């Protein structure tokens, strides 16, 4: 008897009238928003302009979705093109089935197109969005929980995932929640890249390469636990070989790039640098104009203060001369003259 387990949702879709709301799609969408939001903050911190990450994501995200679906369909073609299968199902992305390897490869092509249109180096952009991509993967993996897919071997651990669906060959029971293991691993990868980038000032694509190498390390052992059907080569699942190969390429890139182009890019977006220069020039000109206006105002004020003093001194003489003789003195003089005439 299982005393504890992670329950699976009874269904992965809700209907708002005729509109289906699929948990898998919501996880992908939320992951994309988180990746763009964090990537934008990191891009601005590196000297780029706000909004550039989102503009390039308009190219990268659709390419990534197509690439992820293509990889899944090609590597699991029997699910769509074998006898009794409907090839139209290959276009039903909402039912699950996105290969991260194809998503990153074709998404990088879309990002390259967007960066080229903006005159931005792709490695600098990749470094900025790397942790966000890892967080997006962590969120997106919960879409597998909604679809009751990508679980591991049977187990009775307290955190086992309980599968209730019997569709597509599933056997109800409790299994290792490999989707949860990968989600937690991706969070750790994102935090590792953020720390290493701050500590070592990674540049020229090395932060992105670190993300790739760290993800592949976790994906190798998590993939080894999965029990869903997959192609095997020399006893290992195809995705194990892919993870191993991509890991080696990422490590080689880090080593070679560190020797050829050490440090970090000083300018990641030429337009942003130009805008800052124009802003600095404008502010300098404004300061000089303000200083000139202040000096002119000060000179005029001093001149105006001196003018009233001089005119006051010059008017003192005329005012004194124009003072009238008191009227009482004139009347007394007339009376004296009249009295003298009567006496005489």
3-state secondary structure of 226: strand
| Whole-number pLDDT of residue 271 | 75
Task: Give 219: exposed, middle or buried? Use CB within 10 Å, 0-12, 13-18, 19+.
Answer: buried
For each of the chain's 344 residues, which pLDDT tens digit applies?
455 789 999 888 888 888 888 899 999 999 999 999 999 999 999 999 999 999 999 999 999 999 999 999 998 888 888 888 888 888 888 777 889 999 999 999 999 999 999 999 999 999 999 999 999 999 999 999 998 988 999 999 999 999 998 887 789 999 999 999 999 999 999 999 999 999 999 999 999 999 999 999 999 999 989 988 888 999 999 999 999 999 999 999 999 999 999 999 999 998 765 555 555 455 554 555 555 565 665 555 555 555 554 444 444 444 444 444 444 444 454 445 444 444 43
pTM of the model: 0.78
Of 104, 102, 141, 132, the closest CA to residue 23 belongs to: 141
> What does residue 236 show for φ and ψ, rounded to 5 degrees?
-110, 145
SS (H, E, C) 160-171: CEEECCCHHHCC
Instruction: Return d(Cα 173, Cα 155) in angstroms, integer.
Output: 9
Instruction: Return d(Cα 339, Cα 334) in angstroms, integer.
Output: 9
3-state secondary structure of 20: strand
| Whole-number pLDDT of residue 173 | 93
Location of structure tokens 């569709």: 167
| Whole-number pLDDT of residue 320 | 46
> What does residue 234 show for φ and ψ, rounded to 5 degrees?
55, 40
Instruction: Return d(Cα 309, Cα 330) in angstroms, integer.
Output: 37
């Amino acid at each position: 008897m299982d005393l504890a387990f992670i329950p699976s949702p009874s269904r992965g879709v809700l209907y708002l009238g005729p509109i289906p709301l699929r948990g898998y799609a919501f996880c992908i969408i939320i992951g994309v928003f988180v990746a763009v939001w964090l990537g934008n903050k990191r891009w601005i911190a590196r000297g780029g302009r706000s909004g550039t990450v989102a503009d390039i994501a308009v190219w990268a995200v659709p390419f990534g979705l197509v690439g992820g679906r293509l990889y899944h369909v090609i590597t699991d073609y029997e699910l769509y093109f074998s006898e009794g299968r409907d090839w139209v199902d290959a276009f039903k992305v909402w039912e699950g089935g996105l290969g991260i390897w194809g998503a990153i490869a074709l998404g990088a092509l879309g990002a390259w197109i967007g960066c080229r249109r903006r005159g931005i180096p792709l490695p600098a952009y990749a470094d900025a969005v790397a942790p966000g991509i890892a967080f997006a993967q962590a969120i997106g993996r919960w879409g597998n929980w909604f679809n009751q897919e990508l679980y591991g071997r049977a187990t009775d651990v307290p955190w086992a995932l309980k599968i209730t669906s019997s569709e597509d060959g599933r056997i109800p029971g409790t299994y290792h929640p490999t989707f949860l293991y990968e989600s937690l691993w991706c969070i750790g990868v994102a935090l590792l890249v953020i720390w290493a980038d701050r500590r070592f000032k990674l540049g020229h694509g090395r932060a992105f390469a670190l993300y790739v190498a760290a993800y592949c390390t976790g994906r190798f052992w998590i993939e080894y636990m999965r029990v869903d059907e997959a192609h095997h080569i020399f006893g290992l699942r195809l995705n194990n070989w892919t993870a191993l190969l991509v890991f080696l390429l990422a490590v080689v890139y880090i080593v070679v790039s560190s020797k050829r182009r050490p440090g970090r890019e000083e300018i990641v977006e030429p337009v942003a640098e130009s805008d800052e220069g124009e802003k600095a020039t404008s502010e300098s000109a404004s300061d000089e104009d303000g200083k000139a206006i202040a000096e002119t105002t000060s000179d005029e004020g001093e001149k105006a203060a001196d003018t009233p003093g001089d005119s006051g001194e010059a008017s003192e003489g005329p005012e004194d001369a124009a003072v009238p003789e008191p009227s009482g003195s004139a009347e007394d003089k007339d009376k004296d003259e009249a009295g003298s005439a009567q006496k005489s």
